[in-house]
Structure 1
Amino acid sequence: MVNAMSDDSSKRRLGRGLAALIGDIEKPAETDAPVTADRRIPIEFITRNPRNPRRHFEEADLRDLAASVRQHGIVQPVVVRTIGTQRYEIIAGERRWRAAQLAGLADVPALIRDVDDRTALEIAIVENVQRADLNPLEEANGYELLIAEHGYTQNDLGDIIGKSRSHVANSLRLLKLPEGVQTMLAEGALSAGHARALISTPDPASLARTIVERGLSVRDAEKLAQKAIEGGGQSNRAPRQKDADTLALEQTLSDRLGLSVVIDHKSNGGQIRISYKTLDQLDDLCRRLDRTPN
């Protein structure tokens, strides 16, 4: 299988950002004028992109945007591609399209771009990530799609979207959580920080419910998760408490490596355990350890 990221033209295309692909969809700073749409398209001729990583739209936010649209219209055109005779699919701007429907508009301004499925997916994911429009689970699913279907590495994807490799790795780790915990994350009951703390625990669902019921902070959730990890398989003895500095160092190393890190510190020394699940993760860790300073 050929790694899609070996395609230099693909990397250069995305490296230039969204402006090179779909036009500058923000107001140009030098003119402070809105982008001119290619045409106005009747709303009923437009359909959503079924592979848009963004799944959740707050009704209250949509109502507020619809009220603004009624008064000022749509300033930023939606971006679409042709999918049939007089039919279009949204690439970017689904929220504006939904608000336009609530506002009772008959048509919307649109930029029309001729792109394939892969490019449409890339634009949808990058645009949503750059605008911070995705919840943590939607973001993770978007990354997984680009990696699984287009062969991106975590490093390459991080470069493209302007995030660190560890950020991408930590996002992907959220997909290992049970469905019930993922639902809490998608609905905002848990933050990404809460959810990451649960990944290596023996019963994430139970701990997630406890965190939500007690309204625990991320730091408190990390302490609770660490107790559960240390107590696993050791029912005859109470788990040893860890100090806040050790827990913070574990979290820092976990964030940087994108892997679960446990520090077991004793008076006469200790050990660090780094857990991996795939050979790719092990290879990446070995490459990091093998690097020598210039």
Structure 2
Amino acid sequence: MAKATKKQALGRGLSALLKDPQNDIKSAEDKNADKLVGHIVELELDSIEVNPFQPRTSFNEESLRELASSIRELGVIQPITVRKLDYNQYQLVSGERRFRASRLVGLETIPAYIRIANDQESLEMALVENIQRQDLDPIEISLSYQRLIDEINLTQEQLSERVGKNRSTIANYLRLLKLDPIVQTGMRDGFLSMGHGRALINIEDPQLQLEIYEKIIANSLSVRETEKLVRNLQEGKPESKTAAPALPKNIKKSIKEFSERLGTKVDVKVAKKGNGRLIIPFSSEEDLERLKKIIQGEE
């Protein structure tokens, strides 16, 4: 406990140093820079701006609320990392979820490591830190790899060294970006795994790729079944009929209730993770308006 108190006191001392205009630190060569870089500092949330280079564009609201609840009880356990822009102005390099959750809780300050980095270094740090996360989907990882190659001018060999991954692994991720955008969206939404994506890459015809994608969703095909389907198509073999898996009783009941309420046959596509899509067909603009009124409770 005494150790934690000492660390907090050190943070407050450094915060006071940063607020002194006479000690404004802008480079590693400036006076007192050694006291700042690499240490934990309590920074005001209002002095920090989000990172425009942040490769992650979506944040799960429920997950943020859970993190905010943890921070409310335990505080911010892992400091964020920022880079210094100007006097009392900082930019996030990593830790945007912790930053957002701290705002939700209503904190005024947050523990942070301060780095002195240019835009290119900041982008590289943000991308590499983002890739190390465990909750990224394959497309997010692929896009981060591609940005490192394009914007930092790294070769695949250099990228392999930076992120600690085999070059073949990086190449497999980058190939996913050749998939049709609809298929990529399916991967981001959890309908397809990376294994499904790697199988679909071998289909060059975009329309055929989408047709197979629909079959994977409709029949909940495994990666092995998808690979076999792709292989048969490439070899000109007739497609084997795969029976769609039986839907759980509660989902069947819900479909029936929807169909009776809406006066039209409703279909559903369910992924293995339990998420899915509800498909409500309509025959005309008038029929669409009728369905909308029912859903809105006007009929």
Normalized against structure 1, the TM-score is what?
A: 0.63
Equivalent positions of 1:87-102 (< 5 A) are 87-102=89-104
Structure-1 residue corresponding to 2:230: 225
Matched residues, number: 201
Instruction: Compare CA radii of gyration and give the structure with the larger one.
Output: 2
Q: Which of 161, 179, 182 pairs up with 1:177?
A: 179
SS at structure 1 position matched to 2:221 = coil
Q: Per-residue CA shift, 1:217-254, capped at 9, x if unaligned?
A: 111121122233334xxxxxx4499xxxxxxxxxxxxx
Question: Residues 221 and 240 (structure 1 numbering): CA distance in 2 closer, same or farther, change over 3 Å?
Answer: closer
Structure-1 residue corresponding to 2:193: 191
Q: Which of 37, 40, 48 pairs up with 1:37?
A: 40
Give the aligned residue type for 1:106.
E
C-alpha distance in structure 2 between counterparts of 1:164 and 1:185, whole Å: 22
C-alpha distance in structure 2 between counterparts of 1:200 and 1:132, whole Å: 27
C-alpha distance in structure 2 between counterparts of 1:126 and 1:147, whole Å: 12
Question: Residues 212 and 240 (structure 1 numbering): CA distance in 2 closer, same or farther, change over 3 Å?
Answer: closer
Structure-1 residue corresponding to 2:32: none
Structure 1 residue 160: Cα displacement: 1.8
Structure-2 residue corresponding to 1:71: 73
Equivalent positions of 1:234-245 (< 5 A) are 238-239=237-238
C-alpha distance in structure 1 between counterparts of 2:185 and 2:226, whole Å: 18
Equivalent positions of 1:1-294 (< 5 A) are 23=38, 37-38=40-41, 40-201=42-203, 202=205, 203-231=208-236, 238-239=237-238
Identical-pair percentage:
44
Structure 1 residue 72: Cα displacement: 0.5
C-alpha distance in structure 1 between counterparts of 2:69 and 2:193, whole Å: 30
C-alpha distance in structure 1 between counterparts of 2:227 and 2:152, whole Å: 34
Q: Please tell me whether the aligned partners of residues 230 and 240 of structure 1 are also in contact (alpha carbons under 8 angstroms).
A: no
SS at structure 1 position matched to 2:107 = coil
Structure-1 residue corresponding to 2:279: none
Structure 1 residue 196: Cα displacement: 1.2
C-alpha distance in structure 2 between counterparts of 1:46 and 1:221, whole Å: 47
Question: Residues 41 and 223 (structure 1 numbering): CA distance in 2 closer, same or farther, change over 3 Å?
Answer: same
Give the aligned residue type for 2:191.
A
Q: Per-residue CA shift, 1:125-178, capped at 9, x if unaligned?
A: 222222334221111111111111222121221122111101000000011111
SS at structure 2 position matched to 1:132 = coil
Q: Please tell me whether the aligned partners of residues 55 and 138 of structure 1 are also in contact (alpha carbons under 8 angstroms).
A: no
C-alpha distance in structure 2 between counterparts of 1:189 and 1:99, whole Å: 28
C-alpha distance in structure 2 between counterparts of 1:98 and 1:130, whole Å: 19
Q: What is the alpha-carbon root mean square deviation over aligned residues?
A: 2.1
Question: Residues 108 and 143 (structure 1 numbering): CA distance in 2 closer, same or farther, change over 3 Å?
Answer: same
C-alpha distance in structure 1 between counterparts of 2:53 and 2:235, whole Å: 40
C-alpha distance in structure 1 between counterparts of 2:222 and 2:71, whole Å: 38
- Runs of 4 or more consecutive aligned structure 1 residues displaced over 4 Å after TM superposition: none
Structure 1 residue 115: Cα displacement: 0.4
User: Higher mean Cα deviation, 80-89 or 167-176?
Assistant: 80-89
Q: Which has the higher contact order (CA 8 A, sep 6+)?
A: 1
SS at structure 1 position matched to 2:235 = helix
Structure 1 residue 192: Cα displacement: 1.1
Give the aligned residue type for 1:206.
E
Structure 1 residue 45: Cα displacement: 2.7
Q: Please tell me whether the aligned partners of residues 65 and 99 of structure 1 are also in contact (alpha carbons under 8 angstroms).
A: yes
For structure 1, the 5+ residue unaligned runs are 1-21, 24-35, 232-237, 242-294
Give the aligned residue type for 1:45.
S
Structure-1 residue corresponding to 2:252: none
